[in-house]
Amino acid sequence: MTPRIIFAGDSCIVVEYGNSIDMEINARVQALRAEIESRRFSGFIETIPTYRSLAVCFDPLAAPPNLDKLLLEMAEIAGNTSTIGEEKRKLLIVPACYEGDFAPDIEKVAANAGITVDEVKRRHSARDCYCYMLGFVPGYSYLGGMDESLETPRLKEPRERIPSGSVAIGGKQTGIYPIESPGGWNLIGKTPLRMFDPLRTPAIFLEAGMWVRFVPIDTSEFERLAETAALPDWKPDIREEIVRKEVA
């Protein structure tokens, strides 16, 4: 897989892999991200991953004077980055309540799949989902790997206000609305976790490249966890697993 590397203005280099939403492509993006962040060349600011590309932002006044050389070095890193071998996988546990007002579209999802509401809950929480990227609003997660039978078209008319913490399905993907915002995905539940909190450090604890495991809870457990998640010393349940990844 030969990456395409371009300048995006005078303070950003973009490395592109492929043109689709694909685990192998995104694995390359995340491997490149880890390698560049470990090297942190002069003037480096941050990396921004997407489904298929990585933006590398830098201060042009502090970066190496020969940007063409930097471009060549970036191309070499991108071309040689390997995703084969054992590595740690971060897994975020997300409790989710699939009941009542939290799930106004769950019956629609069930009807579209030809299954019961209880089966929607079971299938949605049965697989770990992969966070391809964050976007739209701070901390909004685009999660892949959901059970294919739950694929549901987005709403024809988006809602103007969706509660923070809402768990939703849009096409083949699922995600969590981190703040109250407009949106066109189907709402099937809600998590008591605060996915974005500007007063917390870090404000966003879910990152691209992490995995998410939804755990069904009832409304009483939702209320209890909501109180706990609001405490100053609350920490998310993030686990590390050793996995072997092989990308051709």
How do residues 224-242 score in pLDDT, each as one tens digit?
999 999 998 899 999 998 7
The DSSP secondary-structure symbol of 231 reads S
Mean pLDDT over 99-127 rounds to 98
Task: Determine the pLDDT at residue 41.
Answer: 83
Cα–Cα distance, 139 to 142 (Å, whole number): 10
Of 199, 47, 200, nearest in space to 134 by CA: 47
* Residue 77 pLDDT class (50, 70, 90 cuts): confident
- Angle ∠(10,67,38) on CA atoms, nearest 5: 95
Answer yes or no: is pLDDT of 83 > 60: no
Task: Determine the pLDDT at residue 63.
Answer: 83
Instruction: Please report, to the nearest 10 degrees, the dihedral formed by the alpha carbons of residues 37, 43, 46, 48 taken in order.
Output: -100
Model confidence over 116-169: pLDDT tens digits? Answer: 999 999 999 999 999 999 998 999 999 999 999 999 999 999 999 999 999 999
How high is the mean pLDDT of the chain? Answer: 90
Task: Determine the pLDDT at residue 111.
Answer: 98
**Region label for 239, one of left (φ > 0), alpha (ψ between -120 and 50) or beta (otherwise):** beta
Q: Which helix (H) or strand (E) holds 224?
A: helix 219-229
8 A C-beta contact, residue 163 and residue 238: no
Task: Determine the pLDDT at residue 82.
Answer: 59
- For the record, the structure tokens of 185 come out as 């995905």
* Residue 2 pLDDT class (50, 70, 90 cuts): confident
Domains located in the chain, CATH noted = 4-80 (3.30.1360.40), 87-244 (2.40.100.10)
8 A C-beta contact, residue 13 and residue 6: yes
Mean pLDDT over 171-199 rounds to 96
* Residue 1 pLDDT class (50, 70, 90 cuts): low
